Structure 1
Amino acid sequence: MATATTRHHERRISPVFLGILAVMAVTGWAVWTGFAANPGLAVFLFVTSAWIVSLCLHEYAHARTALHGGDITVGAKGYLTLDPLKYTHPLLSIGLPLIFVIMGGIGLPGGAVFIERGRIRGRWKHSLVSAAGPLTNVLFAIVCTAPFWLDALDGVPFAFRFALAFLALLQVTAAILNSLPVPGLDGYGVIEPWLSYRIRRQVEPFASFGLLAVFGLLFIPEVNHAFFGMIDAVLNGLGVDRDYRVCGYQFFRFWTAPDPVCEAYLNY
């Protein structure tokens, strides 16, 4: 009986997560209705809360897949509660992601779940544990872009379109960056089980620097241009207008001077 109670407690959705969902719902309503005196602040709060929700789902997907793969310790660690505090690493979860979202609209889930890989048997299971996170971002991006590729924007306020477009941009960048076969990222975790022991040992010391190396490369103009060109191609293919994405980023940065073009959309 005690074990059953413990398991139920380990899987109970966190009040913190429910609170973030409530913020997302309220601020999404404020963006939609134009209730907020400062639409930029409403967009910022809506996108930020939705981004944290996606981070929680990303890490939950890793943990849930690991649980089914054989790591029964994820429940005791709180990973099945969707509590962002359980996934938090001060630098990777808060610092870098927020800085890069503000500086360049680059999204990367920065949470961390510590999977006991020794409990998981089979290379396919290890690969699935790593792939589960980016696939969650793909699903989130599909949901965000659905009104665009379904041509269902009639009646959708421009401010809400901007917010969805920018949120979709963050999800697509997160999915693509996380899928890179770079040590420390999920893409490398997918292929790692299939590498020889010698190669894995040689690569292991660089795992903690993989994320920083990717971000460093994005500061090289040619790499940045190629990367965002690929992002543009994906979002254009999904029907997300570039102007909407730009305006979403402008409104997200509510502390900066408003863009006249984006403001004009609101009065259209």
Structure 2
Amino acid sequence: MMGYDRPGDPLVLGVPRAAFRPSPVFLALAALFVTSGVMTWQRFGNVRLDVFLFVVTGWLVSLCLHEYAHAVVAYRAGDRDIAHRGYLTLNPLKYTNPLLSIVLPVVVVLLGGIGLPGGAVWVDRHAIPGRLRHTLVSLAGPATNVLFTLLLVAGLRIGLGVNGPIEFWAGVGLLAFLQLTASVLNLLPVPGLDGGNMIQPWLNPQWRRMYDLFAPYGFIALFALLWNPRIGGWFFGAIFGLADLLGLPRELYVAGLQLIRFWQG
């Protein structure tokens, strides 16, 4: 359905088309990602700084697309107001908490090499009928990470055959590894995260109340557990195994992590 609130201002289901246009912030991130990729390929200036920009901006772009996937599925499922909240413009500054959504995941990438779940969009669950639709809204984000993982690994395996600077492929390898860790983390059945939110609609009322009680602390609990040496070791052991299974060269993403820490000399 299309209407107009004034001449020349088209509406889609009562929402201005501007609500669906990519924001200048996202377009700038995407442009910087492409530019830094070219700079890395050309070994322009300080190549370690080039790789840093390439990986960080690539990770931020993927965070935006992860959250966009949640938002667009929610919109299709019945939450029309999500467009008015700015989530369909891919603008990371519209997230509920930019500090936790953007800054913390980037810091964790730099320090620990983990694709920590990042940005958050607020979905009006009352506007979406049916448990399956709620599950699909939660699944949309992790599915995007899985898709990115497969595309990056495939591109890496094809691209290595045509040679090119090792720094560039190390950056691609690290991005693939980050997407893999994000895929696994987002699919864990942790209250408050995507994996937990996928099963929440199917819980009985008693278990759902308990879930809702712990959901605000799920992210913090997961973050703390990953820094535990034993639990972190189990997690990374599983991630390394999956990476090997996918054919992601370990030496590449390890080199990529070393390269983005350009301040270490």
Q: How high is the TM-score relative to the length of structure 2?
A: 0.92
Instruction: Please give the root-mean-square deviation of Cα atoms over the aligned residues, in Å.
Output: 1.5
How far 1:164 moved relative to its partner? 0.5
* Aligned equivalent of 1:18: 27
Unaligned runs of 5+ in 1: 258-268
Matches within 5 A, 1:197-212: 197-212=205-220
Q: Does the CA contact (< 8 Å) of 1:58 and 1:137 recur in 2?
A: yes
Alpha-carbon distance between aligned partners in 1 of 2:102 and 2:34, rounded to the nearest angstrom = 22
* Aligned equivalent of 1:246: 254
Matches within 5 A, 1:1-268: 1-2=4-5, 4-5=10-11, 6-35=15-44, 37-87=45-95, 89-150=97-158, 152-257=160-265
Q: Does the CA contact (< 8 Å) of 2:115 and 2:181 recur in 1?
A: yes
How far 1:236 moved relative to its partner? 1.3
Alpha-carbon distance between aligned partners in 2 of 1:38 and 1:4, rounded to the nearest angstrom = 47
How far 1:22 moved relative to its partner? 0.6
**Count of residue pairs the alignment pairs up:** 256
1:42–1:140 CA distance, 2 compared to 1 (3 A):
same
How far 1:155 moved relative to its partner? 2.2
* Aligned equivalent of 1:265: none
Given residue 190 of structure 1, which amino acid in structure 2 is its aligned partner? M
Shifted more, 247-256 versus 225-234: the winner is 225-234
How far 1:97 moved relative to its partner? 1.1
How far 1:91 moved relative to its partner? 3.5
Structure holding more strand per residue:
2
How far 1:114 moved relative to its partner? 0.5
Secondary structure of the structure 2 residue equivalent to 1:153: helix
Unaligned runs of 5+ in 2: none
Q: Does the CA contact (< 8 Å) of 1:89 and 1:110 recur in 2?
A: no
Alpha-carbon distance between aligned partners in 2 of 1:74 and 1:220, rounded to the nearest angstrom = 37
How far 1:135 moved relative to its partner? 0.6
How far 1:234 moved relative to its partner? 1.5
How far 1:7 moved relative to its partner? 2.2
Alpha-carbon distance between aligned partners in 2 of 1:182 and 1:108, rounded to the nearest angstrom = 13
Q: Does the CA contact (< 8 Å) of 1:11 and 1:81 recur in 2?
A: yes
Secondary structure of the structure 2 residue equivalent to 1:160: helix
Q: Does the CA contact (< 8 Å) of 1:148 and 1:238 recur in 2?
A: no
How far 1:225 moved relative to its partner? 1.3
Q: Does the CA contact (< 8 Å) of 2:37 and 2:54 recur in 1?
A: yes
Given residue 23 of structure 1, which amino acid in structure 2 is its aligned partner? L
